[in-house]
Amino acid sequence: MIDPYTWEIPKDTREDMKVPVRIYASEALLEKMRGDRTLLQAVNVSTMMGIQKWAVVLPDAHEGYGFPVGGVAAVDAEEGAVSPGGVGYDINCGVRLLRTNLSVEDVKPRLRELLDQIYRLVPSGVGSEGIIRVSTHELDDVARLGMRWAVEHGYGWERDLEHAEEGGRIPWADPGKVSDIAKKRGAEQLGTLGSGNHFLELEVVDRVEDERAARAMGIRGPGQVMVLIHTGSRGYGHQVCSDYLRIMERVMAREGIRLPDRELAYGPISAKEVQDYLGAMASAANFAWANRQMITHWVREAFEKVYGRDSESLGLELVYDVAHNIVKLEEHEVEGVHRKVYVHRKGATRSFPPGSEQVPPDYRDVGQPVLIPGSMGTGSWVMVGLRTSMDRSFGSAAHGAGRFMSRAAAKRKHRYGDLVEELESGGILIRASSKETVVEEAPDAYKDVDAVADATHFAGLAKKAVRLRPLGVVKG
């Protein structure tokens, strides 16, 4: 233990470790990590070619594929390696927050109607298909332009682009490196929410802990209604990951790379296949930004139908959009030297500080918004980036509450009817296409989001600004 929220697994714990593992968590959260393979996977990550400083484990971490979910690793941009498992299957799964100028008193009487409209307009569920169809050529444009493609096609406002990480587009996307199968899956799912832990929630501001940051984000105070959207690249990104995991296994065989876990499969950055993956990964990330933008458009439309007013007069502005399954080329200080590194964030949110040029101008005095959604029926947090996060976690923070209970265990413990009744008794309405998904996503299937936010705050990864609580949930 370095301090009550910082722990380390030393480099000499295992002979193949290249760097230590740095864990940011309370003692209680750390104990939960010890219950699965989280820490073992982090040690495996520490063996990666070209890894810098330390492998990072965030407060919401749990076992994943190759990397723990809630894991961060930065590798040298020339001598490092890139792992698809360090990004995950749902490339650029992310969260966006919209604000409104409506109060909870305005929304509660029409909450059921509003949820029904959103459910009708935003396709959700396993294998859900979008309202629109795009040709292969158009899908490649989506992959190149990302969120801008959606805005240029009438799904939103030009100013939305200012409040998304990377402006909603990674410029080095190369849809030519994406398989035809991935494109076929994506063409049917653009503008869909999906299932599993994806959701769309109507939230109300519960309390404000940093008034200056809240004001910068247009958050007035308790009672203001907000919207959280959580989804990613759907089948398009899933297929990209599947395709390149197989390709990386061939690269490892060719290069003679031996790993402690085959799920960690990676290739050297100099390899053509890795460059191909980066182009395909960026394409999927851009697809995800376009996807969330189109859903935003239909959420605005739902509010307009219910309230009979245009969405601008309702104040439905994008506060911010963050990615949390991605690898990006960034510059960070390592041992006093500024280095270009590829930062893998797997279930991790970028958390850049005040003054960073990557933060939108209107947030530059307070830091990048960091969105940490809780589980269905609990709270969520809006935080802001800190300078200390750059040194401690390569500018990264937690991405959510983090799973605590397996889906199978949740299904054994809960019944759909009882769960819905419990949520409604707490003033939370739910609209879902699958009873099974609701049970799998029960509130107690996740860690305590307040404990995760506290650990993130006290570890110096991000600062607490605003707590939200849910009013209504749309699940796939």
Binding-site entries:
90, 197-201, 230, 324-325, 373-376, 380, 399-402, 475
Look at strands 199-208 and 224-231 and give their pairing: antiparallel
Annotated binding site for Mn(2+): 90, 198, 230, 324
The beta-strand segments (E) located in 257-311 are 267-268
Distance CA 379, CA 439 (A): 18
Q: Which residues carry out catalysis? A: 399
* CA of residue 34 relative to chain centroid, distance: 23
381/468 Cα distance (integer angstroms) = 6
